[in-house]
Structures are given as C-alpha cells and as structure tokens.
Structure 1
C-alpha cells in the first residue's frame, strides 16, 4: 500500500526547509517514522541494539549519515540531542535533522533544551480527514480567519459510523485489522506501555494491574474535568487503604511523558473579560480507541448506552468519547494553523465551552460538541453567553455534530458535521 499523507506533512513542507532540526513527538504507533521518512535521505534507528550501542559509545557517529537525516527513537540515546544542537550551532541551514521520539526523556538527560535550535511538532493519531472517510468542505483555518463565510457540504457519515471510528483507532497500522485483531493489538499496546515503556521512563510499577485500573478510571473520565482524587477513587472502589495522591500524579506524569494522555488545558484569558474560570484540564487519552478498549466498550455497546463516566460533566460514555474524537480532529489542524487549543468551564459549572481555539493575537474560535443530528436553541446558550462577553474577540462560534449538513443558523452560529472538517 502507498503512503497516506498526513497533516503533519504540510507542516514539514512549510517548516523543514528553513528550520535546521525538528523533533516530532508522539506516542508509539502514530506514524512518526513513516511520515518523517518522506522528508529525509538518511536514517538512524536507535531502537536497533547495534546502532544504539555504537552511538552510545560515540554519539558523534550520528553526524556521519546522509542529510536530511532522521534519527528515530532518539530518546534511547539522549546524548544525540546535544550532538544535533551543536551541529546546528555550527551550521544553522535548514532541513538537516528530524528526530522522532515516542517518549520525552527527563529534563536532566540532555545538557540543553535545544531552544532556538530544535523545533518541536506534535504528531497525533489520524483524524477523520486523514482516514479518508468523507469529502471535507469546511476549513478550520478559514474559521480561524474570522470571515464567517457560508458553510456548505453534506456528509453521509451517521452516528453508527462515528461510533465505529471511535473504536477503530487512529493508529495507522491498526486501521486495516479485523475487529478481533484490533482489540488484541490495543490490549497489547496498553499492556506493553505499562510493563515495558513505563519502567523505561524510570517509574517502578510494583503492581501493573493497579496502573491499568488507574488508566481505566482515567478513560472513564474522558472529556471531563474530574479531579485526580476522583480518578484514583474510581480506580480503587471499596478500598479503605487507598494509594497516596502522589501515586496518581506519578502515573499522570509518566504517561504524559509517553504521550499517552493528552489533556486539554483550561483557558486562562488575560484581562477581566472572564472571571471565575476553572483551572482543571479536560482529560483525553492519545486515541479514543484506547479509552474505549480500556472500558471494554465496542461500537454496539456504546450505541446501547453502556459505560458510566467519571467526573462532573453529565452525559453518556459515547458522548464523551465522541467529544474526544472531535478534539483529536480539531487539535491536528489547529497546530497546523498555529492556534492553541483549550477549554472553558466556570468554577460552578454553569457555563462550559468544549474547545476554545486561541490565535496569537488572543482572538478565539469557540467550538461546542453535540452528539446529535439536529441543533436546538438550548444547544447554543453557552456560545451566546461567550459571544456577549468577548464581542469582537470572538472570531466565530460553531457546533460540531453528527448531522448530515453544514450550515449557519439565523443567529450566525455554524453547524458542521465532524466528517466535513478539514485543515
């Protein structure tokens, strides 16, 4: 099969010719190596024991390969980061090194952060547009431009299709598997992360099942602002002698370093336009399929309403996982459009905006997510509340749903089926 182009390819096309070194961060299996290979001549795989042994002995060996050079799994020999940094200091011309890593080494593993020398790009699982499921008609970049153009297009994807995509995974190698093989691979992926990858990051896990239970509770908190105490309680029901809260924080930190959890931070706007905002992140795993698998939920059981969310936000598990799929499909093009992604929730929970995309100038695009084919006035109340407070700082307000058509309501709010959203 031929290579399936990713959104990150566009970013690399735009940046790599001018930037001497770029590190591509993301979880294992997301496609970092395959994508990076499209942009280089030389390849150094540090997950190979022979290569790793030689480079550990003499990190400067990395510089003897043809450039542009991909150094894959660079975190296996963190010293190559400083070798690349020094090479860039000596020759700052663009397009020399790509570094792909599925874990973030500890800050003291390298002598220098690489700031100003090595750029960073995040790679996430495949979005719906990258999966080629529909012909998208609505550009996120155009929405961020604030022109409030007419929205057009129709999408054949329905609720059952989106539910299948939640469990089908955005990891490229899993896309072609049968349902049984995919479940097996997702289980293996999670078990290997706990048994092998976490200890390699320096966290000794005495009871792997306890960490998997925490991950299941985190999955149940998908798209909520549940506290880590609530997640720990959900992971240890009925246990009087619960682990310390520091255990939950240690799990969070190591899984973040492996790019396996991918929370959306709370929006903290400057000035006094908005007050009483919550600071808790919204929880997401790297791929909604991981969350569904941890909870033992398939497409049929999700459609039947199975699964109980953890956290303050109401709704079904299907609704929360659909929001996680939307979040993935928004984050990837947002990075390409140079917009930051956050969420908004007031402290008492009376107002909430699922996704807030923030441009460099502070102006925002507000997005609500609705697991519905039709949109009512009740569904728009939080967007109208935000419009009243932000005025001209609000570029646009849209609702992403499971309906068949993209259009603008009479109040100006856009309605976009998820399958029609592109870069």
Structure 2
C-alpha cells in the first residue's frame, strides 16, 4: 500500500535534516513505523527478540550503520536512548536517528532526559483531514493567527458518515478492513493491551477481566471529568470484591504510559481574571473507536441514542455526542501539534461555564472551540464562547463551533461555525 502523508510529515521534512535525533511516540498502530520508515536507511525493530538481544549485547551497532537509523520500539531496550544521546553529544549533524516508541520507559528505569539532544513528537491516529473523507477549507493554523480568516466551504459529510468514522477508527491498518474484520481487529487490539502490552512493560495483571471492565467504564466516561471513584464504581456494579484504588491507579498510570489513555488537561490560564476553574482532566481514549467497541454499540444503536455513559454532575450530552467530541479532540490535537500549540478544556467549579477545547499558543492566546452534534448553531450554543471573549478580550484569537452540518461560515457575532469535515491543519 502506498504511503499516505501525515500532518506530522511537514514538520519532519523541515526539522529532521537539521536535528540529529527525533523520537516519534504514540500508541501501537498509529503509523509511527510507516512514517519513520520513509526517512530511514537502516532499521532495527526491537519487537524482534533476537535482534533486541543482539543490540543489547552491542548497542554501538546503531552508530556503525548507514544513517538515518530507525530504532523501532526502542523502549524495549532503554539503553538505546542513552546511546543515541551520547552519539548526538559527539556529533550534532542532522538527520541521523529516528526512535519510534509505543510506550514510555517503565517506572524506575533510569535514562537521560535527552533534552536538547532528542526532540520528541507525539503521533496519534489519523485526524479527520488525514482520512481523506473530504477536503478541508478552514485551517486551524489560520485561526490561531488571530486575523479572523474568512470561513467558507461546503461538505456532503453527514451524521451517518461521522458515525461510520467513529467506529471505523483512525488506526491506518484497521480502518480499511470490512466491518466484521474491523470489529475483530479492535477486539484483538484491546485484548493485546491487557494480555501482552502491559505484561511486556512490567505490569502483572492479576485479574484481566477486571481491568477490561475498568477500561470499558473509562471509555463510557469519554468527554467527561467523572471522578476515578465514579468510574471504578461503574466498572464493578454490585461487586464487593472491587480492585483496590492503588491497583487501579497503577493500571491508569501504565495505560497512560502506553498512550492508550489520552485525557485532555484542564486549561488554567496565566495572568487572567478567571477564578474557580476545575483542575480535572476530561477523559478520552486514544481513539473513540475503542470506547465504542468496549461498549459494543452498533452504528444503528448510536444513531438511536443507545450507549450507557459514566457522567459527572450535570452531564447531558448523548453517548454519540461524547464520541463525536472525542473524534473532534483527536483531530484538533493533531492540527494543534502542527502549529506548535497545546490544548485543554475549561469548566468552572459550579459547572455554569464550560468550553470543550482551548487551543493555546506559546504566548497564551487561545482559540476557543465548542463541539456540537448538530448542523445548526443557536445563540445558546455560543454563550460560553462569548463569555470567555468578554473576560479575556484579545487573548481569545477566535471562537469556533465544530458541527456535523454542511456549511462553514461566520455568524454575525463573529463566531466561526465549521463542520469537522472542513477543518484542517
């Protein structure tokens, strides 16, 4: 299959010739190896145990072969990181090493930070623009410029297609399969996390079914800030033999280290007159298809409003609305990363004000984004965006509602309305 360029490729094209070492990090199956392979002359795949043992016995091999050198699943032999760092200390020539990893190193493993020597990039599943479902007409980078760019364009992508994209997943090797095969592959992906990935990374899973139940409850809390005790209760209803909180915390730590949990942190603005904001992250799995698969919900069921949610306080969104928000978050994260921006969410402690996504530049100015599972936008839907603009003034570069509708446009109050299919990097 021909390689399809990713959003991250543009950054790699510009930086790798000048940087000696780049690390691509992300969950298994997001496409790290395919992207890195486009630039590598020599490859070491440490998922091959024999090759891993050979490299462990002589890690200097990576400096004696033709560059660029790709070390895939490098975290399985952490001394590779330190050897690359030393090699870069000795020679800053660009374009020498690519490290691809599907997990952070295990706690207690000592490696140098690599700061100033190894530059890390996070890869996630395919954003909506990378799926080639439609052609974007609105750029997040342009919105971040703060010049209120023209917002226009039309899309034929409707709610059934968005549901299909949620269930199809953004994993390049899974999404193109027939529906039945795709379901089996997603099931296998989830089982592999519990039965192989965690044990390979030093975690003894005493009760796999309990961990799978907790993961399903976490997925059911998608796009909420439900407490971890609430999630645990939902995972074990009526079960007196619940996993202890310490065990769940260990699972959560390692699932985050494997990039399976991908929560959105609370946005806490600097030098701003906003008080009493929550510090709780919003829960998201690396791909909403995993949450949907854990719930066992069908396309027809999603459209009918089926699906049990784990919620906090006054959550009112539907299960489909939560999964659509997760799909939007997945894409916006990719586009924000390409623009050297970060994302967070805002909610006041009284829950009277909340904004789904804040995309923040390095100078702390933001694009505020609400997500709406609808084709139409009312004044009520933009009230929190306009409130934030009133509070922060020109620190809010733009206000956006992302919808499932057919058209991109600006409202009279300046809020941009953009279908997800028309948003791009």
TM-score bracket, normalised by the shorter chain, equals: over 0.9
2:404 counterpart (383, 399, 402): 402
Output the aligned Cα RMSD: 1.0
User: Does structure 1 retain, via aligned residues, the 8 Å contact 2:272–2:392?
Assistant: no
User: Does structure 2 retain, via aligned residues, the 8 Å contact 1:383–1:397?
Assistant: yes
Aligned to 1:395, the other structure's residue is in SS state strand
CA distances 1:149-199 after superposition (whole Å, capped 9, x unpaired): 220100000000000000001000112211100000000000011011111
Q: CA deviation at 1:109?
A: 2.3
Structure 1 partner of 2:332:
330
Structure 2 partner of 1:232:
232
Q: CA deviation at 1:106?
A: 2.4
Structure 1 partner of 2:51:
51
User: Does structure 2 retain, via aligned residues, the 8 Å contact 1:226–1:310?
Assistant: yes
Structure 2 partner of 1:159:
159
User: Does structure 1 retain, via aligned residues, the 8 Å contact 2:106–2:202?
Assistant: no
Structure 1 partner of 2:267:
267
Q: Please, what TM-score do these two structures have when normalized by structure 1? A: 0.98
Aligned to 2:230, the other structure's residue is in SS state helix
CA distances 1:125-147 after superposition (whole Å, capped 9, x unpaired): 00111110001100010000011
CA distances 1:355-407 after superposition (whole Å, capped 9, x unpaired): 00110001010000000010011101111111110101000000000000000
CA distance in 2, matches of 1:274, 1:220: 30
Moved more, 10-19 or 354-363: 10-19
User: Does structure 2 retain, via aligned residues, the 8 Å contact 1:308–1:316?
Assistant: no
Structure 1 partner of 2:26:
26
1:380 counterpart (382, 405, 408): 382
- Mapping for residues 22-421 of structure 1, pairs under 5 Å: 22-312=22-312, 313-421=315-423
CA distance in 2, matches of 1:111, 1:395: 40
Q: CA deviation at 1:14?
A: 1.7
Aligned to 2:121, the other structure's residue is in SS state strand
Q: CA deviation at 1:19?
A: 1.3
User: Does structure 2 retain, via aligned residues, the 8 Å contact 1:79–1:109?
Assistant: no
CA distance in 2, matches of 1:27, 1:250: 18
User: Does structure 2 retain, via aligned residues, the 8 Å contact 1:79–1:110?
Assistant: no
CA distance in 2, matches of 1:145, 1:242: 50
Segments of 4+ moved more than 3 angstroms: none
Structure 1 partner of 2:13:
13
Q: Please, what TM-score do these two structures have when normalized by structure 2? A: 0.98
CA distance in 2, matches of 1:315, 1:149: 30
CA distance in 2, matches of 1:182, 1:157: 22
**Count of aligned residue pairs for this structure pair:** 423
Q: CA deviation at 1:272?
A: 4.1
CA distance in 1, matches of 2:209, 2:199: 14
CA distance in 2, matches of 1:90, 1:27: 31
Aligned to 2:191, the other structure's residue is in SS state helix
Moved more, 305-314 or 140-149: 305-314
CA distances 1:175-229 after superposition (whole Å, capped 9, x unpaired): 2211100000000000011011111222211110000000000000000001111
CA distance in 2, matches of 1:75, 1:298: 36
- Any stretches of 5+ residues in structure 2 without a counterpart? none
Aligned to 1:357, the other structure's residue is in SS state strand
CA distance in 2, matches of 1:108, 1:68: 30
CA distance in 2, matches of 1:225, 1:241: 25
CA distance in 2, matches of 1:324, 1:403: 17
